[in-house]
Every structure is written in C-alpha cells, then in structure tokens.
Amino acid sequence: MSEFITFHGDDVPQSKPEEALFHVIPVPYEKSVSYGSGTAAGPDAILSASCQLEVFDGKSTPAQYGICTYEPVDCSGGHEEALTNIKDAVLKCMICGKMPVVLGGEHTVTNGVIDALIAKYGKEFGVVQFDAHADLRDSYEGSKYSHACVMKRTIDKGIPIYQIGTRSYCLEEHQTRLHYNIPFMDAEDVDRDGTDAFRLPDDFPEKVFITFDIDALDSSIMPATGTPVPGGLTWYQSMRLIDSIVRQRICIGFDVLEYAPMDGLHSADFTAAQLVYNIMGYVSRSSKVKAQFGIS
C-alpha cells in the first residue's frame, strides 16, 4: 500500500507516469480564504471519496487510460514558494506528455498551474473557468495572490479566459470584464438560455484548460465550499457544458478547487470526487484529446 491515498484506491492500480494519461496532483494550498475555510483538506477528502466511485462512469471507463497520483505538493512556504512547487509538479506531468488533474486547495492554485502551462504551450491556450465568482479583483485584502484575484493574474499573463456559472462579482470585476471584453455565460444565462446556447468564441484558442471552482455548482448541491452562492449550476448543466467544451476544443488539463469538506457530509465528498472522474470521462472520450495525447 502507498503511504498516501491514490485516486480510485485499490480498484485502479496506479500506472507508471509515462503510461498514465491522468496525473492527479493534490495541492493542499490554503493561504487567502476570506470566508469559510477548509480547502487545504479538500484534496485528501476527494481522494478518499474516490475509492467509493464506480470505475465505469455510465458511459465508459476513464481509468483504463491510466491514473498516476502524486504525493501532495508542499505548500508550507510562502505564496511564491508554494506556487513554484505547484508549477514544478505540473511540469513533471507535462514532461511525460500527459494531462494534469489538479485537486485544490483554494483557487490561487491555478496561478501555479498556468505558469506551467505557459512553460509548455507558450500562450497558445485559453482557460475556461467554472465559478460562482469572477475572481477578477486586482488585489483583495492586501494581496495579489488572493483566490479572488486568480483570473486577473491569468489575463495579466496574456491568457484569454471564458467564465461560466458566475453570479457574484463586484463593480471592479464587472468593469474588468468590460475593459478586457471577457466572454462569459453567467448562471442566470445558463438557466434562461440553456446549455445548448453555449459556444466558445470563434477566436478562442484551440487548446483549453478547464478550471472548476466547485462553488460554480448550486449551493444546494455543493454547500461544502468557502463561499457558497445560491442560483448556481445544476449537476447535469455542468456535465453538458463540460461535454460541449471538449467537443469544441482540445482540453489539455483541468483542476477542481475550493472544496472544503464538512464533517459527516459524505455526499459532498462523493460529489466532488465524481465531478473529477466525470471530467476524466468526458476528456478521455474526446477525439480531439485522443489525438493530442496519442491515445486510442
């Protein structure tokens, strides 16, 4: 047995890094949460719950493409040191030519992931963000490393973003959206127009990274997060949107963040783990992903 929990546990033997499509990278980073806390425990809770998942996801068996789970990234240092460690872990995955699956931790984690993606792909990719919040503040509570600033840091690096499920943002963030002409489909738009109306802009990059802040889900489905907001995405809305993304573009990786487990609420642990595995399923069934990563 490993000294740490692996995704799917004993049901799915760990693959060698060079043979696994999915490199699961736990990142217990929590340094700037501003309301509820507990995201540092998110990766371990997701991994523990993943041991209860069915290997067949109802459509296919994503695990057949191999899963390699890393030891948790060291986040004990300051912001910059921790983000460098995250970058290095993701680069290790991409050196193998594989797909990073990053488990947070607060949303600031994505900053380190983006740095690794830029090192690999240059600026030839975009980020599709599922989130209740725009995360476009230039700084928050005196820090540019705040989880509320992660998407502003992303566009500062010249990476385009598309926002889905957003429904709580300040005037500064609204003005930033207008200034940068950031495309979005707010949760209210999804509810009103349906998921069939979703289309990434024609000029959006062909390669995309999906960042899924778990508070994009409606708080009735997912209360276990630092800042739950009512009026969010339903489960099947989220699944249809993810499916649409991987049909439209090449997914080069994803993260699931801001999960803050609550004692005794096993349903939320399982929901978070199922979300991760379902995204694995959608990307592994994508012909575009198969061509990108050389799998059949």
Q: Measuring CA to CA, which residue among 31, 124, 44, 34 is closest to residue 83? A: 31
Q: State the pTM of this model.
A: 0.96
131 found inside a domain: yes
Quote the number of domains for the chain: 1
Q: What is the pLDDT of residues 161-174, one digit of tens each?
A: 999 999 999 999 99
d(CA 279, CA 5): 20
Q: What is the pLDDT of residues 188-218, one digit of tens each?
A: 999 999 999 999 999 999 999 999 999 999 9
63 found inside a domain: yes
How sure is the predictor about 139, in pLDDT bands with cuts at 50, 70 and 90? confident
Helices and strands per DSSP (H, E), number in the chain: 9, 8
**DSSP-based helix, strand, coil % in the chain, nearest 5:** 40, 15, 40
Other Cβ atoms closer than 10 A to 256: 24
134 found inside a domain: yes
pLDDT at 33 over 70: no
Q: What is the pLDDT of residues 248-274, one digit of tens each?
A: 999 999 999 999 999 999 999 999 999
18 found inside a domain: no
Q: Measuring CA to CA, which residue among 59, 71, 69 is closest to residue 22? A: 69
Range of the domain at 217: 23-291
Average pLDDT, the chain: 94
Q: Is residue 99 a contact partner of residue 22, using CB atoms and an 8 Å limit?
A: yes
d(CA 10, CA 33): 33
12 found inside a domain: no
CATH of the domain at 285: 3.40.800.10
Phi, psi of 210 (to 5 degrees): -100, 120
Helices of type H across the chain: 42-50, 79-95, 109-121, 150-156, 171-180, 187-193, 235-248, 266-284, 287-293
- What integer is the mean pLDDT of 125-132? 98
- What integer is the mean pLDDT of 38-61? 95
pLDDT at 29 over 60: yes
15 found inside a domain: no
Other Cβ atoms closer than 10 A to 48: 16
